[in-house]
């Protein structure tokens, strides 16, 4: 099997779980219960979806340690932000910050901004805190908090992996495709700011 075939197979394997929903045979579980509701949360909002993929794309562009450090930093700080949101700790500028994160992370990818890994962690961390806080404040009343958090953490990891896989699959030769995806993320962010979506 060629390297290109392996890349395509890996990308398909990463995208397949995101395109499926489990079947539930019992009443009271499903998209309204804890884990599935948490899992669906990042997938149901264009702002969250776009940022999670953009983090993966940017990590793939940077390469090296950033491929694992940036997504893990996002998930870790996001979970901390979710705990703050669930505890009803107020945080200013959550929604404007989330909208800014879509534009900024999209531009970082589109412009192939090459920052030190620690600076990337700081930027990603600020945005992850805001996204996590939003996730935490939006936990359904009947959901178990930890199960809900596990659901959105898993979905976030999967979206990061989709971004990484897409960035790596395009390779250095087609780096322009990854950057174009970043420009699309930034454009989505601008659209969200002006209410186009």
Name the pTM for this structure: 0.82
Is residue 28 scored above 70 in pLDDT? no
pLDDT (tens digit per residue) in 136-153: 998 877 778 889 899 999
Is residue 30 scored above 90 in pLDDT? no
Dist CA 183 CA 105 (whole Å)? 9
More confident call, 11 vs 166: 166
pLDDT in the model for residue 27 = 40
pLDDT (tens digit per residue) in 159-173: 999 999 999 987 766
Q: What ranges do the domains of the chain cover?
A: 33-193
Mean of the per-residue pLDDT values of the chain: 86
pLDDT in the model for residue 26 = 39
Q: What count of Cα atoms within 13 Å lies in the side-chain half-sphere of residue 26? A: 3
Is residue 157 scored above 50 in pLDDT? yes
More confident call, 17 vs 191: 191
Percent of the residues in the chain that have a pLDDT greater than 70, as a whole number: 81
């Amino acid at each position: 099997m060629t390297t290109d075939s392996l890349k395509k197979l890996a990308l398909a394997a990463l995208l397949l779980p995101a395109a499926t929903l489990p079947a539930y045979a019992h009443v009271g579980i499903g998209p309204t219960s804890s884990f599935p509701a948490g899992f669906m949360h990042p997938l149901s909002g264009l702002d969250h979806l776009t940022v999670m993929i953009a983090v993966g794309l940017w990590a793939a562009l940077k390469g090296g340690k950033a491929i694992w450090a940036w997504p893990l930093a996002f998930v870790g700080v996001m979970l901390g932000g979710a705990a703050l949101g669930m505890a009803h700790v107020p945080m200013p500028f959550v929604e404007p910050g989330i909208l800014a994160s879509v534009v900024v992370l999209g531009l970082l990818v589109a412009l192939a901004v090459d920052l030190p890994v620690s600076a990337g962690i700081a930027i990603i961390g600020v945005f992850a805190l805001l996204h996590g806080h939003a996730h935490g404040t939006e936990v359904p009343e009947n959901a178990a908090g930890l199960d809900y958090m596990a659901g959105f953490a898993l979905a976030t990891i999967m979206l990061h992996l989709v971004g990484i896989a897409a960035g790596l699959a395009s390779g250095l030769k087609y780096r322009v495709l990854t950057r174009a995806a970043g420009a699309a993320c930034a454009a989505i962010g601008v659209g969200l700011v002006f209410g186009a979506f």
